[in-house]
Amino acid sequence: MSPGERNNKITPEHLRKNAYLYIRQSTLHQVLENTESTRRQYELRQRAVVLGWPEERIGVIDSDLGQSGASAKDREGFQRLVGEVGTGRAGIVMGLEVSRLARNSSDWHRLLEICALSGTLILDEDGIYDPAHFNDRLLLGLKGTMSEAELHVLRARMLGGYMAKARRGELQLRLPVGFVYDAAGKVQFDPDRQVQDAVRTLFATFRRTGSQGRRPERSSSRACASRAAHRTVRAWAIWCGTS
């Protein structure tokens, strides 16, 4: 980031408003496993400090961790960000890359339009952009298109892998509670007697009450269990109350 870029695009008016850092990972698995990406996103906050924003006016929006960027519908954090920009409270919006903000062209271009109207800048790992300027908006639009195309390629690649495994008879889907895959990939009853007892009690209670809508008797003292990691025998059993 060159000093000229900072001087030309960041004005005192921008610095009087808030800076918002948007943080997102697509799945909870990524949140737990891709910790380096999450750490890099949080570190982007320091960029705003260097650019002149006081720490008390730098907001971090991370409520969408574990949410896909394919749509804004279920992303409370992104909707809040759009609201802050639309009401003129944001001087700059920061994200490690465009795909953190949106992987849907309509959501992305809507954000660009609102940023352009409210005079809000956008910052990513590569630089600072003013959506009100044609060249910057053209580049941001291209980045958004590439981000959406990348999502399509990833989905197609994943589906292709599933189909290839299915044709070989090797595809393993998530099993109902009480069943697991053994070392040979065959479906079997969960070897944990507590899991077996819990499932049997659940079905016995259902047969006795005769209704799925009624709360089973003594349910508060029982629990059901499932296994993480595709419910293999080696995975941990996760217990949850049924009441």
Residues annotated as part of the active site: 26
> Which residue reads 């982007």 in tokens?
44
**Which pairs from 103-108 meet CB under 8 Å and 24+ separation?**
103/68, 103/69, 103/70, 103/147, 103/148, 103/150, 103/151, 104/69, 104/70, 104/71, 104/72, 104/148, 105/144, 105/145, 105/148, 107/71, 107/72, 107/78, 108/140, 108/141, 108/144, 108/147, 108/148
Per the rule left: phi > 0, alpha: psi between -120 and 50, beta: everything else, 229 is: left
3-state secondary structure 97-121: CHHHHCCCHHHHHHHHHHHHHHCCE
